[in-house]
Amino acid sequence: MIAAAILAILVTMVLAVIRALLGRTVYDRILAVNVFGTKTVLLIAALAFWSGRPDILDIALAYALINFIGVVAVLRFFEYGAAEGDEVQGK
């Protein structure tokens, strides 16, 4: 049954990666990367149970932290209205 959860998480990751590649706006990409990050956290938690080694849950925690810091960093350096070219207007 954990296999079902892992499969569902993998499917979601595929969808998020496609959105990150298609992009349109930079914000779409940030959103997709963020979703991918939380899904990786869940994937690692599920894999920890699948392999019977819950030690690796620490990594899931570290992931959650880094994912958040990453999103904040992207926004901090991207600033407001800084996009050039077609990235922001594309609808």
Partner 1 sequence: MDTLVDIVLLAFLAVSAIAILRLRDLFAMAMMFGLFSLISAGLFTTMDAPDVAFTEAAVGAGISTILILATLAQTARREQSPARRRVLVPLAVVWITGAVLIYGTADLPGVGDPAAPAHNHVAPHYLQESSREIGIPNVVASVLASYRGFDTLGEVVVVFAAVVGVVALIGLRRRPPGVVEGPAALSEHDVLKVIAKLVVPTILLFALYVQFHGEYSPGGGFQAGVIFAAAIILYALVFGLDAARGVIPPKLLNVMPATGALIYGGVGLVTMLLGGNYLEYDRLAADPQAGQHLGILLVEIGVGVTVSSVMLLIYFSFAERGRGKLRDDGEAGP
Partner 2 sequence: MSFLAHFNYYVAIILAMIGFYTMISRTNLVKKVAGLNIFQVSVFILFISLGVLDGGTVPILTETHTLYSNPLPHVLILTAIVVGVATTAVALALAVRIREAYGTVEEEQIQAKDDQP
Partner 3 sequence: MSALLIDLLSWVLIVVGGAFGVIGGIGLLRLPDFFSRIHAASLTESMCAPCIIAGLMLQSGMTLVTVKLVFLVIFLFLTSPTAAHVLAKAAIHGGLDPGALRDADAERRG
Question: Applying CB under 8 A, which of residues 1, 3, 55, 89 lies at the interface with partner 2?
Answer: 55
For the segment 5-44, give every residue that binds partner 3 (CB under 8 A). 5, 7-9, 11-16, 18-19, 24-25, 27-28, 30-32, 34-35, 38-39, 41-42
Residue in 57, 30, 20 with CA at minimum distance from that of residue 42 = 57
- Please compute, for residue 54, the number of CA atoms within 13 A of its CA located in the half-sphere on the CB side: 1
- Distance (Å) of CA 43 to CA 16, 25, 73, 82: 14, 27, 24, 34
- Residue 65 interacts with partner 3 (CB under 8 A)? yes
Residue 46's CB is within 10 A of a number of other CB atoms, namely 19
Spell out, one character per residue from 3 to 42, where the chain touches partner 1: x when CB under 8 A holds, - when not. x--x---x--xx--x--xx-x--x--xx--x--xx--x--
> Nearest approach, Cβ of 52 to partner 2 (angstroms)?
8
